[in-house]
């Protein structure tokens, strides 16, 4: 039981760093982007949060970005191994086209997550650890405090300047 808990904690940290660093690397979002992300960012900023962090949080909700790519890759690897992760990347790419999003973060997130998950499976982790870890990573970003999470993400967002 404790071993499984430890793997999930490690997977959560890896997933959090992976999807946030990919969004920052691809410079997402520079502005609100899709209308839902813009609305979420503005609502968070009105409550005292960071506008840029709010846009990134809105991007997580409204577009298949790196967080969705990471979660879907974990599900794909769980179902079908590495080919399942690649299939997830293809589905994220299609989802990005539907959202009129370039799709770099989501597609690269799914591909990199597939490689990372497959690598960690070689040392005793399970794909299910990363599914739980990704859900917890999204929860820590979206579910605890929008104001504080947006400020933290906004801090990281400014690193790319």
pLDDT (tens digit, 9 = 90+) per residue, 25-69? 887 666 556 667 888 889 999 999 998 888 888 877 776 677 888
Element containing residue 141 per DSSP (H, E):
helix 127-142
Instruction: State the pTM of this model.
Output: 0.86
- Backbone angles phi and psi of 143, in degrees to 5: -105, -10
Q: What is the pLDDT of residue 64?
A: 65
What is the chain's pLDDT, residue by residue, as a tens digit (161 residues)? 679 999 999 999 999 899 888 878 887 666 556 667 888 889 999 999 998 888 888 877 776 677 888 899 999 999 999 999 999 999 988 888 887 776 678 899 899 999 999 999 999 999 999 999 999 998 888 878 889 988 988 888 887 76
Measured distance CA(95)–CA(89) in Å, rounded: 10
What CA–CA distances, in Å, run from 74 to 33, 87, 125, 156? 26, 11, 12, 25
* Angle, CA of 124, 129 and 132, to the nearest 5°: 175
Q: What is the predicted pLDDT for the residue at 133?
A: 95
Angle of helix 127-142 versus helix 146-157 axis, rounded to 10: 100
Task: Decide: helix, strand or coil at residue 14.
Answer: helix
């Amino acid at each position: 039981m404790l071993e499984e808990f430890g793997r999930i904690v490690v997977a959560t940290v890896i997933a959090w760093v992976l999807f946030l660093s990919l969004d920052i690397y691809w410079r997402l979002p520079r502005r609100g982007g899709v209308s839902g992300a813009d609305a979420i960012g503005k609502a968070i900023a009105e409550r005292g949060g960071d506008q840029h962090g709010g846009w990134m949080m809105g991007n997580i909700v409204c577009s298949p970005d790196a967080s969705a790519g990471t979660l879907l890759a974990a599900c794909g690897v769980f179902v079908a191994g590495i080919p399942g992760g690649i299939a997830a990347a293809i589905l994220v790419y299609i989802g990005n086209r539907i959202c009129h999003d370039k799709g770099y973060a989501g597609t690269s997130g799914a591909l990199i997550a597939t490689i990372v998950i497959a690598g960690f499976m070689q040392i005793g982790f399970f794909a299910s650890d990363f599914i739980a870890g990704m859900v917890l990573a999204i929860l820590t970003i979206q579910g605890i405090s929008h104001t504080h999470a947006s400020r933290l993400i906004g801090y990281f967002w400014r690193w790319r300047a």
